Structures are given as structure tokens and as C-alpha cells.
Amino acid sequence: MCSDTHPDSAGGLGQFLRSRRERLSPADAGLPSAGRRRVPGLRRDEVAALASVSLSYYSRLEQGRELSPSPRVLEAMARVLRLGEAEKRELFRLVPPATRRTKPPFRVERVRPHLRQLIESWTRTPAFVIGHAQDLLATNALADALHRDFAQPDNVLGMLFLDPAAKAFYRNPERARLRAVVDLQQTAASTPEDARVLELVGKLSVRSREFRSLWAREYTRVPPYDVEQMYHSGVGYLELRREALHIRSAPGQQLVVLQAEPGSPSADGVALLGSIGAPEVPHRQNPAHDA
């Protein structure tokens, strides 16, 4: 009896990916070599990072537990594994046609006007709205002034991993980076084909060795967001309690509020922050991001 699909397509796909992964050296993939390795070729976490997918998602592909990788993911795998045209056709052939998914439609993240008006009315509390990929979608004047040392304060992860200002701004940048990566991993696990997340992970993986290392791990316990200690070039040291509130009317968005203890030196610092003003750019007015 004939069939248009391969009965062992799931296993065949996993075996195919594993064999091509094992034949590549770190140098072939543009990665630094760290001496002797326990496995031949690239590790799973290295392929996952280079292809902008989570380690758990790539592991499911090799184990035959993920049967519907999108064309975008397959193209990324072909690029990372350095497949020729014939091998690339074989890769696509191993995915059952009935399960192939088309590229999801773009979703534009918008901040509701009443929410923007709310945070703009807060003159003693830095506040901002972030999207599902931690893009800053809306900010108030105090948040702009707080982040004025950053060259491009438009994405939390970009600020943490790509901007040199993060090292001086955060008293514990390693903790902040870990927490942000885990949040992005959770988003990627629930929406593995999200275009904005894939784009962000790809950019950070190429430009930040530390991000690649953190992204390759899987975490069971992570430090919570509680009190953030930071240093602002204009007002000095600040200790602010961070609250991130999920916005029920816009799933994936969070309202982030940074509060100082009343009567504390940090409260005086926030008051001074309001007096020195923000950079020579208006605060964020709901930029659109593809997702």
C-alpha cells in the first residue's frame, strides 16, 4: 500500500538532524573551540542557540516528539547544519506534509490608550509596559529618565546583553540577565514559532556569548524579580522594588512598576530623577513589533 508520507518520518528526521549535527565541528559553525569534547560534532544546545529555538524544542525534534516544525525552523536548521541543496530537500521531505505549518500571521502589539495614560500620570514611580518578547512598548517620563544611560532602551534583553551601560547600571547584572532569559525561554516554549522571539534569539545568539550560554541551559529554579539595585549616573544608587503585573486585556504584556521605599534615600533619588528629566527623545509611544 502506498503512502505520501514516510512511516518513520519522525525517527528519520531525528536521525537526520543528529547525523548532520555530529559531523560539524564548532569551527564549522563559527563557534570557539573549548578543548576536548565528549561528543562528536556540535552539541544539541549549540544547534538550538544558532537556530534560535529552545534546547527543549530542538531535543524534541531529534527525539521524534515534535512533528510539526515550520518552514522557518527547517530553513534555520538547514543554515546551521550547512546543508547542501540535496540535503535540504531531504530535510523538508522528512517532515510529514500534513503537519507542516505555514508562517503564522504577524501580530502587532498595541498598548491600550487608557493604560498609557495611567502610567504617564505616575510622577513618582518609574513604570513601563513590555511585550511578550520584552520589548518596551510604552514608558512614562521617569522610566525614560531612569534608562537614559542606555543607547537604545527598547528591549530588556538587548539592554542587558548588548549595551555596555548594563554593567554599570545593574548592581547584579548576572542575576538580571538570568531572570530575563528564563522569561524568554518560557515564552519560546509556549510559542516556538513566534517570529519576534526567533528574531530576537537569533540576534542575541550571534552577538552575545553570555546569552548563548544561558539560553542553552534549562532551569528548574530561578531568582525572582524582587528588589533591583542599580546605579544611575545622575542620581547615584537606587534600590527599587519591582512588580510585574500581567495585563489581562493584552495577553503576553506586562506592566512593570519600580517603587522606592517611602522616606528612603532611593525615594529621594527618584524625586531627583524626575527633576533632571529624560534624554532628548520623547518617551515611548507604543511602537509596533511583529510577533
210 or 282: which carries more pLDDT confidence?
Answer: 210
Query: What per-residue confidence (pLDDT) applies to 173?
Result: 92
> Does position 285 have pLDDT exceeding 60, yes or no?
no
Domain borders along the chain are 9-99, 113-276
93 or 259: which carries more pLDDT confidence?
Answer: 259
User: Distance of alpha carbon 184 from its chain centroid, rounded?
Assistant: 4
Q: 9-99: what CATH class?
A: mainly alpha
> Does position 235 have pLDDT exceeding 90, yes or no?
yes
> Does position 290 have pLDDT exceeding 60, yes or no?
no
113-276, CATH topology level: Beta-Lactamase (3.30.450)
Could you tell me the pLDDT band of residue 117, with boundaries at 50, 70 and 90?
very high
> All 3 cell numbers of residue 129?
509596559
Entry pTM: 0.67
* Neighbouring residues of 66: CB distance < 8 A, sequence distance ≥ 6: 57, 60
CA–CA gap between residue 27 and residue 3 (Å, rounded): 41
Question: Is the separation of the CB atoms in 242 and 225 below 8 Å?
Answer: yes
Tell me what the mean pLDDT of segment 99-124 comes to. Answer: 79
Express each pLDDT in 88-105 by its tens digit.
Answer: 888 888 887 654 455 555
Query: What per-residue confidence (pLDDT) applies to 88?
Result: 86
Express each pLDDT in 162-185 by its tens digit.
Answer: 999 999 999 999 999 999 999 998
CA–CA gap between residue 233 and residue 279 (Å, rounded): 13
Question: Lowest mean pLDDT: which of 58-67, 90-99, 146-155?
Answer: 90-99
Query: What per-residue confidence (pLDDT) applies to 33?
Result: 65
Query: What per-residue confidence (pLDDT) applies to 2?
Result: 37
CA–CA gap between residue 169 and residue 44 (Å, rounded): 34
Which range has highest mean pLDDT (83-87, 130-134, 223-227, 285-289)?
130-134
Question: Lowest mean pLDDT: which of 94-103, 144-153, 265-274?
Answer: 94-103
> Does position 51 have pLDDT exceeding 80, yes or no?
yes
Phi, psi (deg, nearest 5) at residue 39: -125, 150
CA–CA gap between residue 97 and residue 87 (Å, rounded): 17
> Does position 255 have pLDDT exceeding 90, yes or no?
yes
